[in-house]
Amino acid sequence: FAAVTDTPGLPRVLLIGDSISIGYTLGVRAKLAGKANVHRPPENCGDTARGVKSIDKWLGAGKWDVIHFNFGLHDLKFLDGAGKLVPPEKGKQVASPAQYEANLRTIVARLKQTGARLVFATTTPVPAGSEGRREEDAVRFNAVAVRVMKELGVALNDLHAFVQPQAAQLQRPANVHFTEEGSARLAEQVAGRIASLLASAKR
C-alpha cells in the first residue's frame, strides 16, 4: 500500500481489485520494474458497489496507460444482517448478477474516460467449502463480466482459467485466497498481460 514514486518517462499502470490483487501487487511491481510504474488504491477495493462510489478517488488526477481491474469475489459472497460472512442459506448475496452487471457497466464507462488501455481479470475460482460463497457463482458472475467486457471492447485476463487446472496447488484449502506460490504465479500472469498491452501500445 506504500505510495509509489514514479520513475519519469515510464508508463503508469493501475491495479484495482480485492485481496487477491493485493496478494499479487508486489510481484507485478517487481516484474515490471524498469518498464512501468505500478500503482494500486491503498485498500481492498471490495465489491462493485464500492467501486462505483470510489472509482474517482482511486483514479486520482494522474494519467493512466493501463488499468487492470477485477470485481467479483465480494459481489458473490453471502452476508447476514450484521454484515458477517455466513453460509449461503443463512444470508443474502451482496449483489445479484443483474446488479453486478449494472455496476460493472458504470465502472467501465468511468474507466474509459481515462483513455487508458483496460483489462478485466476474471474472478478466480471459489474452492469447495469456502465460507460464505458458492463454487458455481464464480463461473456465473464471470459469464456476466465476460459478456459485458466483450460488448464494451475491454480486454480480458482470464485468471479463472489460469488457476482452475492448478487450483489445488495454488489456493488454500476451502479458501478463496492463495498461497505465497499462488500469488507469485498470479503476479507472473498479470505482469505478462500488462506487458503485452504496453508493448502493443508502442506499435
pLDDT tens for each residue of 75-120: 999 999 999 999 999 999 999 999 999 999 999 999 999 999 999 9
pLDDT for the residue 17? 96
Cell 501487487 belongs to which residue? 25
Q: How far apart are CA 121 and CA 29, in angstroms?
A: 17
Q: Which pTM does this prediction carry? A: 0.95
pLDDT tens for each residue of 162-201: 988 888 889 898 989 899 999 999 999 999 999 999 987 6
Query: Average pLDDT in the 40-50 region?
Result: 96
- C-alpha cell of residue 164: 482452475
Counting beta carbons within 10 angstroms of the beta carbon of residue 62, is it exposed (0 to 12), middle (13 to 18) or buried (19 or more)? exposed
Q: How far apart are CA 157 and CA 142, in angstroms?
A: 12
Give the start-end residues of each E strand in the chain. Answer: 12-16, 37-39, 66-69, 78-79, 92-93, 117-121, 155-157
pLDDT tens for each residue of 125-157: 999 999 999 999 999 999 999 999 999 999 999
Dihedral sign from CA coordinates of 69, 161, 140, 79: negative
Instruction: Decide which of 41 and 202 is more confident.
Output: 41
Q: How far apart are CA 161 and CA 120, in angstroms?
A: 13
